[in-house]
Structure 1
Amino acid sequence: MGYYVRVEPNVKVYVEDINPEGKKAILFIHGWPANHNLFEYQFDELPKKGYRCIGVDLRGFGNSDKPFRGYSYDVLADDIRKVVEVLNLEDFILAGHSVGGAISIRYMARHNGYGVSKLALFAAAAPSFTKRPDFPYGFTKEEVSKIIEDTYNDRPKMLEGFGDMFFFQYVTKPFSDWFFQLGLQAAGWATAEVATSLRDESLFSDLEKVHVPTLILHGTHDKVCPFPLAVAQKEVIRNSKLVSFEDSGHGLFWEQRHKFNKELIQFIEK
């Protein structure tokens, strides 16, 4: 079931609600620069186990409206709050990949974890996507600025290069083409603006405000959000569990999808 939720007077975001009668709701927030279809291999399986899977396209991406402004972590977290309210979600699992993980953490801090019983972070871009004087992991700000520049100059080529670093395991040409098309469905300006947020924002203090059980899943070969980011999350978030994926890069939800789905289900049922 797909429909739109109005998050601002002139902005609607697309929501795909799979198995709405399921026993437990999981709200999935996708990473940059894709959309909710990134979780296809979870949506194929988790509803079979009786779960309600809700995928949101962030504003500017997928089927959602694409306003020219409004891509800070605060605004994107506020959009999620509106979706939660409209769907009347309670006691749900909030699950975010990459920048979706960063937005999920900002949601927990900014909205005091409204309605969330558990948090799941997949290769999350936190506490910082970029290197800082006291955090030597991730991209340099100059490298992200180059990605933004390339987005405005030749977005298809930028997306192709990003796809090359996304997966650790071999992907077929058809799968690579599918992944590439997910990125093309976004607006160019939204792709650049969210990359700007990734470059400039941080979540060090936000992590301290997460007070629900948290599952951290992260590939050890991740070239986008290096594994030390997951270690930093584990050190700060109380009542958190870190599971490493030894045969995955940034795309662990596909590269080790059976292990990924098993760990997520065990976490939900615990």
Structure 2
Amino acid sequence: MTLGYNIAGSGPTKVLWAHSWLAGHKAYDCMLPFLDTERFTWVFPDFRGYGRSRELTGDFSIPEMGRDLIHVADNLGWDEFHLVGHSMGGQAAQWVSGQPAARERLSSLALLCAVPSRAFPLDADGSKLFEAATDSLDARATVISAVTGGRLGTGFVRYVNELSRKTVDPATMRAYLRTWTQDDVSGEVQGYEGPVLVLTGQYDAVLTTAAAEEQIVPQYTDVRSLVLDGAAHLAPMETPARTVAVIADHFLKEVETTSS
């Protein structure tokens, strides 16, 4: 069974997005007005238990997430594609890049505020807060404010919280929380030699630039690290136009290099 997904555009450059823990593909709606739909086809799947895939069950593991992403590309008939992984989805995207059959099809990779492949264990206070956030919208609001540096006001927090509530149920959030905080798949992230862009948010105090450069960048040979000015952890909603522009530029450079 294939994940549910949304499609924007019909261009020749194919891009698959892997979403974060807080919400499914609807978290990318803020970016839609800024997408180049003539040169790109953008596909936004929902992982199992989220949005259009809400009825799909599974073990909610990183390998399952990765296999499901590959299956979406198969279903679309894509022999080659680019992949974006945001936060939790970034851990799954790293796993995909390490799979021999997948990396032959992966034109390039963008990791946006990504969870490292070795997972991201939380300290005692963080674990308590994030666990509470699976059931309590008040605790979830605290998480949303924390990962965006408390900079964007109550309206933004309320918007993301309501989006999250509509997207995913508490049981699914608990399952994926265990996954991205505990599942170490770093041993399966080897051998990808294509271009990789590692993006971090200027104000992201959790998955920082230092953490990415220590834990993600060394996995790849053709890799560039860039800080998104004005963003924290939820860049697609905080700075949607800039996020789209930087990622599209990365993918188009790879297309131009391949064509020349």
1:85-112, Cα deviation, whole Å (9 max, x unpaired)? 1111122110010011101111122354
Whole-angstrom CA distance in 2 between matches of 1:148 and 1:168: 16
Q: 1:67 to 1:263 in 2, by over 3 A?
A: closer
Query: Residue 146 of structure 1 aligns to which amino acid in structure 2?
Result: K
Query: Residue 198 of structure 1 aligns to which amino acid in structure 2?
Result: W
Does residue 164 of structure 2 align to residue 175 of structure 1? no
1:113-142, Cα deviation, whole Å (9 max, x unpaired)? 2521110100000133435xxxxxxx33x3
Residues 258-267 or 54-63, more deviating: 258-267
Where does residue 218 of structure 2 map in the other structure? 235
Match of 1:62 among 51, 54, 57: 51
Where does residue 196 of structure 2 map in the other structure? 214
Where does residue 71 of structure 1 map in the other structure? 60
Residues 49-58 or 191-200, more deviating: 49-58
Match of 1:120 among 88, 91, 110: 110
Match of 2:77 among 80, 85, 88: 88
Where does residue 252 of structure 2 map in the other structure? 269
Where does residue 198 of structure 1 map in the other structure? 180
Where does residue 189 of structure 1 map in the other structure? 171
Q: How far is the alpha carbon of 1:144 from its aligned partner?
A: 5.3
The DSSP-based 3-state class of the residue aligned with 1:26 is strand
Query: Residue 122 of structure 1 aligns to which amino acid in structure 2?
Result: L
Where does residue 255 of structure 1 map in the other structure? 238
The DSSP-based 3-state class of the residue aligned with 1:16 is strand
Q: How far is the alpha carbon of 1:174 from its aligned partner?
A: 3.7
Runs of at least 4 residues of structure 1 off by over 4 A? none
Q: 1:79 to 1:127 in 2, by over 3 A?
A: closer
Where does residue 120 of structure 2 map in the other structure? 130
Q: 1:169 to 1:41 in 2, by over 3 A?
A: farther
Whole-angstrom CA distance in 2 between matches of 1:269 and 1:260: 14
Whole-angstrom CA distance in 2 between matches of 1:218 and 1:54: 22
Q: What's the TM-score once normalised by structure 1's chain length?
A: 0.83
The DSSP-based 3-state class of the residue aligned with 1:43 is helix
Whole-angstrom CA distance in 1 between matches of 2:204 and 2:110: 17
Whole-angstrom CA distance in 1 between matches of 2:147 and 2:133: 17
Whole-angstrom CA distance in 1 between matches of 2:62 and 2:75: 20
Unaligned runs of 5+ in 1: 1-5, 8-12, 132-138
Where does residue 42 of structure 1 map in the other structure? 31
> Contact between 1:33 and 1:61, CA under 8 Å: does it hold in 2?
no
Whole-angstrom CA distance in 1 between matches of 2:72 and 2:106: 13
Q: Which has the higher helix share?
A: 2
> Contact between 1:28 and 1:96, CA under 8 Å: does it hold in 2?
yes
Percent identical pairs in the alignment equals 18
Q: How far is the alpha carbon of 1:173 from its aligned partner?
A: 3.9
> Contact between 1:73 and 1:106, CA under 8 Å: does it hold in 2?
yes
Whole-angstrom CA distance in 1 between matches of 2:57 and 2:137: 20
| RMSD (Å), alpha carbons | 2.2
Q: How far is the alpha carbon of 1:151 from its aligned partner?
A: 4.4
Where does residue 3 of structure 1 map in the other structure? none
> Contact between 2:132 and 2:140, CA under 8 Å: does it hold in 1?
no
The DSSP-based 3-state class of the residue aligned with 2:97 is helix
Q: 1:173 to 1:151 in 2, by over 3 A?
A: closer
Where does residue 6 of structure 2 map in the other structure? 16
Whole-angstrom CA distance in 1 between matches of 2:98 and 2:67: 11
